[in-house]
Amino acid sequence: MFVRNEEGNIIVYKISSEWHHIDSVLERFDEDLSRFSSSSSSSSSSSSSSSSSSSSSSSSSSEFKVIVRELLNNALRHGNREIAEKVITLSIEYLGARRFKIVVEDQGKGFNYRNITMDLPENTENIRRKGYVLINAFSKRIEFNEKGNRISVYTELGY
């Protein structure tokens, strides 16, 4: 299953827990982000662009993709245990001013998110749960539901 819906400033993907669907989401990602970026830049009073803002936009787009990839990887591998019949829901909401809310929910039993460390340790060779370290590094705020099977990440392009 691979379903994409769009309503206003929200894009929702519902995908079965299969690895190739994560790649399919990310392949559409630049198109999705450019739609939001164009609506953001059209409201900007300046129409000039520089190569530094372009590279900043490109690197922040890459960071955005890292967040989404890590969230989906965790949902598929740890949440849904790679059971193809289980669904992952991804929603990307444009909040304005290049700010986004990314929500990923799986059909797993959840986990105790209070016990994870999201800061980069001094010895990076022994990092467990590297995905959360990356997600935390590229986001402004992270929230979990009580069960631990839904995560909301707030981020900004070009911050």
Cα distance between residue 50 and residue 34, in whole Å: 17
pTM: 0.85
Among all chains, which residue has been given the structure tokens 């590229």? Answer: 138
- Give the pLDDT confidence of 20-38 residue by residue, as tens digits: 999 999 999 888 888 776 6
Amino acid 58: pLDDT: 66
Amino acid 40: pLDDT: 54
Q: How far apart are the first and last CA of the chain?
A: 34
- Give the pLDDT confidence of 65-123 residue by residue, as tens digits: 999 999 999 999 999 999 999 999 999 999 999 999 999 999 999 999 998 888 777 77
Is residue 157 within 8 Å of residue 60, measured between CB atoms? Answer: yes
